[in-house]
A = this chain, B = another copy of it.
Amino acid sequence: MKIILPEKDLPKQWYNILGDLPWELPPPIDPLTKKPISLEERNSVFCRELLEQDNSQEKWIDIPQEVREVLTIWRPTPLRRARNLEKHLKTECRIYYKDESCAPAGSFKQNTAIAQAYYFKKAGFKRLTTETGAGQWGSALSFACNEFGLKCRVYMVKISCELKPYREYLMKLWGAEVIPSPSKYTSFGRKILKDTPHTNGSLGISASEAVEEAFKNKDTGYGAASIFNFVNLHQTVIGLELKKQLRLIGDEPAYLIGCVGGGSNFAGLIFPFVKEKINGKEIKFIAVEPYACPSLTKGKYLYDFADSGCFSNLIKMYTLGHNFIPPPIHTTGLRYHGCSPVVSLLKYKNIIEAKAYHQLDVLKAGILFAKLEGILPAVETTYAIKAAIDIAKENKTRNKCIVFNFSGHGYFDLHTYQSFLHQELKNYRYPISKIKLAIKEIEKLQPK
């Protein structure tokens, strides 16, 4: 069963949770002075309009018509009911999923990619740089840049280039330049190559290279995949559409579930529902992450750098420390040391709950889902699926409405599924001593 909205129901405004929360978000601070920094002082890798959105207290922000036009290529996305899965689990719960896999590059990332490319173009930028791990973000931004006539360079984690050649091909097909990272193009990349010539790279390293390049070139902006408030803002089309779709069928969600790396697909899903919970409504928000990279379940709520090269300002978030390098789990998109400040604040205020899983368990759930529902999930998405299944089992006779975000498809993750079926993958223990060490290192960064 699919609940599909007409195009006119694509939201006309994004929902800005910052204008609607009873708490203030701890501001970004300067790493040297430890003082909050003004909009004017924030570094110039973004254009003005994105920075303003990042800081805005307006509850609703208009979506430009040019952005809406591109979004309607695939939006509104269907809300699907996983009836075969329900039957298989013998649960009385209703399990729905918001299918963000219909986007050009196959994931929710496309929502903010389009908006960012639009604003950068409007502000006169000529090109964007960014990082990518699994490739969902890099290909989403490649498409968006092509759509608005910007050049695009993507620093792709070296090991991902090798494991996911199709993602690289897709980016190139849309006109982007793809650079395996670390690379010789940036001083940070050169330093890493000198220190560890055989490194596989990491998302943190790629991000630092992309930011460095944008920082050094006036005509070049930096496309942000996650973390930033404006990214979460652009993703709220997901939750806003979901609200309408559930209203159409007269249902009310008891659980909203999303996988969490930087947190933006989860944010997009839940933000439009958060105020209701603060006002007393019974609804649970479940953020799902890997045991091997458990920022929300085992991290500390501290100020930290967003990237491992320490180019960013300090932001307050649940973090494992920017020097923490997670074990090589196959969900590249969730191998991030921190989590978006707003999602972190909601966790700190007990509005959301976090859950962690091992990769073998979630991949098993993903294959079950693909067999029953016919849609292959991205490996990141399998974390949300596993949580939805567990909740539907726990509530077998309780008739609850469970919705998870189907953040992307797994057509480019078949290598991982194949390795799983061949029993070549393993679980990784929660790397407690490495995390302790990395957190200790950032304690000195905190303001007095």
> Measuring CB to CB, which residues of chain A are less than 8 angstroms from any residue of chain B?
1-2, 4, 6-7, 72-74, 102-104, 106, 143, 146-147, 165-166, 169-170, 172-175, 367, 370-371, 373-376, 411-412, 414-415, 417-418, 421
| Copies of the protein in its oligomer | 2
Interchain CA distance A172-B376 in the complex, whole Å = 13
A371-B146 CB under 8 A given contacts A2-B7, A72-B1: yes
- Asked if B414 and A374 make an inter-chain contact with CB atoms under 8 angstroms apart, the answer reads no
User: Taking the nearest CB of chain B, how far is it from the CB of A359, in angstroms?
Assistant: 16
Interchain CA distance A170-B370 in the complex, whole Å = 10
- Asked if B417 and A173 make an inter-chain contact with CB atoms under 8 angstroms apart, the answer reads yes
- Asked if B376 and A414 make an inter-chain contact with CB atoms under 8 angstroms apart, the answer reads no
- Asked if B74 and A376 make an inter-chain contact with CB atoms under 8 angstroms apart, the answer reads no
Write the chain B residue with the least CB distance to A6: B4
Between A and B, 5 residue pairs with Cβ closer than 8 Å are: A1-B72, A74-B374, A106-B411, A166-B412, A173-B421
CB-defined contacts of A104 to chain B, threshold 8 Å:
374-375
Interchain CA distance A367-B143 in the complex, whole Å = 12
User: Taking the nearest CB of chain B, how far is it from the CB of A385, in angstroms?
Assistant: 15
A173-B4 CB under 8 A given contacts A104-B375, A166-B414, A375-B104: no
User: Taking the nearest CB of chain B, how far is it from the CB of A316, in angstroms?
Assistant: 37
Interchain CA distance A1-B106 in the complex, whole Å = 18
CB-defined contacts of A412 to chain B, threshold 8 Å:
166, 411
- Asked if B418 and A169 make an inter-chain contact with CB atoms under 8 angstroms apart, the answer reads yes
- Asked if A174 and B371 make an inter-chain contact with CB atoms under 8 angstroms apart, the answer reads yes
- Asked if A73 and B373 make an inter-chain contact with CB atoms under 8 angstroms apart, the answer reads yes
User: Taking the nearest CB of chain B, how far is it from the CB of A422, in angstroms?
Assistant: 9
CB-defined contacts of A418 to chain B, threshold 8 Å:
165, 169, 172-173
Write the chain B residue with the least CB distance to A114: B374
Looking at the complex, which one of B4, B106, B166 makes contact with A4 (CB distance below 8 Å)?
Answer: B4
- Asked if A374 and B173 make an inter-chain contact with CB atoms under 8 angstroms apart, the answer reads no
Write the chain B residue with the least CB distance to A167: B414
Looking at the complex, which one of B4, B166, B174, B373 makes contact with A411 (CB distance below 8 Å)?
Answer: B166
Write the chain B residue with the least CB distance to A420: B173
- Asked if B376 and A170 make an inter-chain contact with CB atoms under 8 angstroms apart, the answer reads yes
Interchain CA distance A375-B169 in the complex, whole Å = 14
User: Taking the nearest CB of chain B, how far is it from the CB of A399, in angstroms?
Assistant: 22
CB-defined contacts of A147 to chain B, threshold 8 Å:
374
Interchain CA distance A165-B172 in the complex, whole Å = 20
Beyond contacts A1-B7, A73-B375, A166-B166: 8 other A-B pairs, Cβ-Cβ < 8 A, are A4-B4, A169-B414, A169-B417, A169-B418, A172-B421, A173-B418, A174-B370, A411-B411
